[in-house]
Amino acid sequence: MKFKNILFAAIALAVSTIAFAQNTLKGKVVDEAGEPIIGANLLWEGTSMGGVTNIDGDFSIDLTSSTNQLTASYIGYTPETVVVANPAEFITISLRGEVSLEEVVVSARRSTTLNSRMDPLQSQKITYDELCRAACCNLAESFETNPSVDVAYTDAATGARQIKLLGLSGTYVQMLTEQIPNLQGAASPYGLSYVPGPWMEGIQVSKGTSSVKNGYEALTGQINIDYKKPQTSDPFFMNLFAAHTGRLEANVDANIKINDRLATGLLLHYSREKMSHDSDDDGFLDMPKTEQYNVMNRWYYKNKNYIFQAAANFVHEGRESGQMIHGEHIENPYKIDIKTNRALIFTKNGYIFNQDKNTNLALILSGTYHKQNSTFGHTPYDVDQKNIYANLMFETEFDSKNRISTGVSMNYDNYHETLKDARVEGLDNIKLKRKDPITGAYAQYTFDYYSRFTLLAGVRGDYSSEHGFFVTPRLHMKYAPFGELLSLRASVGRGYRIANVLVENSYLLASSRKMIFDKGLDNFESAWNYGASAHLTIPLFNKDLSVMLEYYYTDFDKQVVANLENPTQVTFSNLHGRSYAQNAQIEISYPFFKGFNLTGAYRWTDAKTTYDGKLMTKPLTNRYKGLITASYQTPGGMWQFDATSQFNGGGRMPDPGTVDPLWKSDFPSFVTLSAQATFNYKELSIYVGGENLTGYRQKNPIIDAANPWGDRFDATMIWGPVHGPKFYIGMRWSIPRI
């Protein structure tokens, strides 16, 4: 509480002592579909003064007394010159109609990972170009070059991966697609594989509690995925991929602009990996055999004031893993089989009442059906989830400094889980069949003082039939005392989460552990999150050195604790004591010479939870992480070379037991390396690369693999890579829009 009071006092002091604003003009640059254009150039006519739009398409530039004509330009669009009659008003510049370019001269290479300098939230956009720097086959492989987000295997059998942000698992990160909550609940174990990399236009990552618009979740952060849009994407795109492990992928999307108002797109994905690999000779597959079919159809319509978007997505995936048969019969082999069918449909409707005041009304609707049938050894586990989501939002600006957003939302979940296993105790203490409609309302106020000081304050109230009424307050502040040279941010907010205890921990079924659910287990979790960051831009040798410093602290008051400290069982209970995670990170980036950029980062993590009355470091959590990533593009962009090395610190393992320990009490640090070379010729790109080139892999990832039906078998004690080097080749080809 003392830290919370200090932070609020600091915010109040900054508000009361803010300096007078400089003369600046604020606005936004959008395309003909109303989508923000990132990296558009702004230039006052007849001068060298101007600026560039950020990841939201927004800009803030100094005024000049020599002219009131401002030109916005971007490659592939017709430049637009506007007369600024009232510099105090927020302006929107629309670049309409693409131009045919006979010659393109690349004068500078734009950063592929963009950190917002105007948003009061600590946010970052991973662009499509950044995703292409590595083998981005799906969302799980999209953060290879990102120092903030970790993706790790949950076990050595199913191939399930989870995100880690601010030292905590991805269940505390709110996952969104197109600003719609997604990939949660039944989809949480394998959902990262349901989003093909070539389908993504970009990924936004924000740390700490985010806006209250999207709900009460996001205890440690929010990740939003933007899919390709039919009205702006190329008419045809194809991506083919093959790895030496037998992994094959094909992605195709086609987009048709029917007329100036209507467009549609079809995205297709197929992947297959059916080869058997057992490099450590433990009798188990190193990685599961998988096959996935994935299809999405998108529609876009716009008239003068109304915008409509809709999409339907269907996924079918099969996973098989377990013991191998080396030309001999194995009696009663241990097998894992997982079959998933998932369907999603959503619509987004927006009506603009007053474009000058950004007064608009939006309605988002989505429905999801997820069915998963799985078997772990002799244990069947099935889960069905139906979800309906609705969010009605209204926004308007009172003036250039004051904005408000308000709305109402509804989220309805219907779960049906089936688990039959004699190892499970207290299964009646959790609801395997449950319906939980949650309705809520929010209000959010933004005060923006000429981009020098921005205050974002929001509150929402929600009612759950299971957990009653709860309030979510959040506050974000940004202060830029020297314009774009320095941005200071601070945040504090509360977040909640309804834990789906069984499905989120279903990977533990790949072990012989007993699963014990405490009587009266409450699956409602809540935490406070506090954050502070500084983004410093230092002009150095006619280039910009970017330095980012940040600190976040997540403090739980309610939590479901999975206690693995007994090597033969896992106990699920409510928190009795403290549980927190604190992270400090520094990230430095500098373009040393034309076409070359180097980024280095270091993160320290301290995450602790109370187990059996004792505050202990969370197991299987790295104490630190270092990252160095470099990228070089030759003049003209024909060749590009990328390399990333990660330095993963060691950490604590769960208690291995005192008699005949099953594993060591700590795991060591290790280093991984990935690299890729890309050849670009017009609309064709051919890329080759490798992952885990150091060849480091965890020894004996499966405990007692020779006796999977015994009481010591465990495939879930994973802290490092479970496979050796992987080499791949791929190609991308598109027909550009004329």
| pLDDT surpassing 90 at residue 650 | yes
Task: Indicate the DSSP class of residue 141.
Answer: G
Token representation of residue 481: 């005392």
With left for phi above 0 and alpha for psi between -120 and 50, is residue 503 left, alpha or beta? alpha
Q: Average pLDDT for residues 348-366, to the nearest whole number? A: 93
Within a 13 Å sphere around the CA of 489, how many CA atoms are in the beta-carbon half?
31
pLDDT computed for residue 333 by the predictor:
92
Mean pLDDT of 70-77: 77
- pLDDT tens, 597-619? 999 999 999 999 999 999 999 99
| pLDDT mean over 390-401 | 93
| Residue 379 predicted with pLDDT over 90 | yes
- pLDDT above 70 as % of the chain: 93
Give the pLDDT confidence of 201-246 residue by residue, as tens digits: 999 999 999 999 999 999 999 999 999 999 989 999 999 999 999 9
Domain ranges of the chain: 2-95, 113-735
Which pLDDT score, from 0 to 100, does residue 48 have?
Answer: 61
Model confidence at 668, pLDDT cuts 50, 70, 90, reads: very high
- Where residue 16 falls among pLDDT bands split at 50, 70, 90? very low
- Residues 356-363 have a mean pLDDT of 91
Is the per-residue pLDDT at 90 higher than 60?
Answer: yes
Query: Token pair for residue 729?
Result: 């080749």
What's the confidence (pLDDT) of residue 105? 37
The percent of residues above 90 in pLDDT, for the chain, comes to 72
Nearest to 152 by CA among 169, 171, 166: 169
Region 524-540: mean pLDDT is: 95
3-state SS of 357-420 is: CCEEEEEEEEEEEEEEEEEECCEEEEEEEEEEEEEEEEEEECCCCEEEEEEEEEEEEEEEEEEC
DSSP per-residue letters across 336-349: EEEEEEEEEEEEEE
Confidence of residue 356 (pLDDT cuts 50, 70, 90): confident
More confident call, 341 vs 123:
341
**Which range has the worst mean pLDDT, 32-46, 87-101, 140-154?**
87-101
Is the predicted pLDDT of residue 18 greater than 50, yes or no?
Answer: no
- Looking at residue 614, what is its pLDDT? 97
Mean pLDDT of all residues in 174-178: 95
CA–CA dist 316, 260 (Å, integer): 34
What's the pLDDT at 329? 66
Q: Note the pLDDT of residue 394.
A: 97
Tens digits of residue pLDDT in 443-502:
999 999 877 899 999 999 999 999 999 999 999 999 999 877 899 999 999 999 999 999
Cβ neighbours for 259, distance < 8 A, ≥ 6 positions apart: none
Nearest to 341 by CA among 288, 389, 385: 385
Write out pLDDT tens, residues 281-305.
899 999 999 999 999 999 999 998 9
pLDDT tens-place string over residues 690-711: 999 999 999 989 999 999 999 9
Please identify which residue in the block is written with the tokens 């069905």: 384
| Residue range 402-419, pLDDT digits in tens | 999 999 999 999 999 999
Express each pLDDT in 554-583 by its tens digit: 999 999 999 999 999 999 999 999 999 999
Q: What is the mean pLDDT of residues 367-379?
A: 96
Determine contact, residues 520/543, Cβ cutoff 8 Å: no
Q: Evaluate whether 276 touches 245 at the Cβ level (below 8 Å).
A: no
2-95: CATH, from 3.40.50.720, 2.60.40.1120, 3.90.950.10, 3.10.129.10: 2.60.40.1120
Q: Tokens in use for 542?
A: 């006619």
Structure confidence at residue 122 as a pLDDT band (50, 70, 90):
confident
What mean pLDDT is predicted for residues 322-339?
A: 84
**Gap between the Cα atoms of 52 and 61, Å rounded:** 9
Q: How many residues does the chain have?
A: 738
Residue 97 — very low, low, confident or very high, per pLDDT cuts 50/70/90?
low
Per-residue pLDDT at 57: 79
| 20 has pLDDT over 50 | no
3-state helix, strand, coil in the chain (%, to 5): 10, 55, 35
Tokens linked to 560: 């479901």
Q: How far apart are CA 90 and CA 142, in angstroms?
A: 35
Confidence check: pLDDT of 9 > 90: no
Q: Provide the 3-class DSSP secondary structure of residue 513.
A: coil
β pairing state of 453-464 and 433-449:
antiparallel
Q: What is the structure's pLDDT at 69?
A: 85
So what's the pLDDT on residue 7? Answer: 47
Per the model's pLDDT, the better-predicted residue between 294 and 44 turns out to be 294
The band of 420, judged by pLDDT with boundaries at 50, 70 and 90, is confident
Parallel/antiparallel/unpaired status of strands 161-165 and 168-169: antiparallel
The string of DSSP codes covering 617-683 is EPTT--SEEEEEEEEEE-GGGSEEEEEEEEEE--EEPPP--SSS-SS-SEE--EEEEEEEEEEEETT
| Average pLDDT for the chain | 90
Residue type present at position 687: Y
Structure confidence by residue, pLDDT tens digits, 519-530: 999 999 999 999
90 vs 153 pLDDT, higher one: 153
Q: Is the predicted pLDDT of residue 106 greater than 70, yes or no? A: no
113-735: CATH homologous superfamily? TonB-dependent receptor, beta-barrel domain (2.40.170.20)
State the pLDDT confidence band at 177, using cuts at 50, 70 and 90: very high
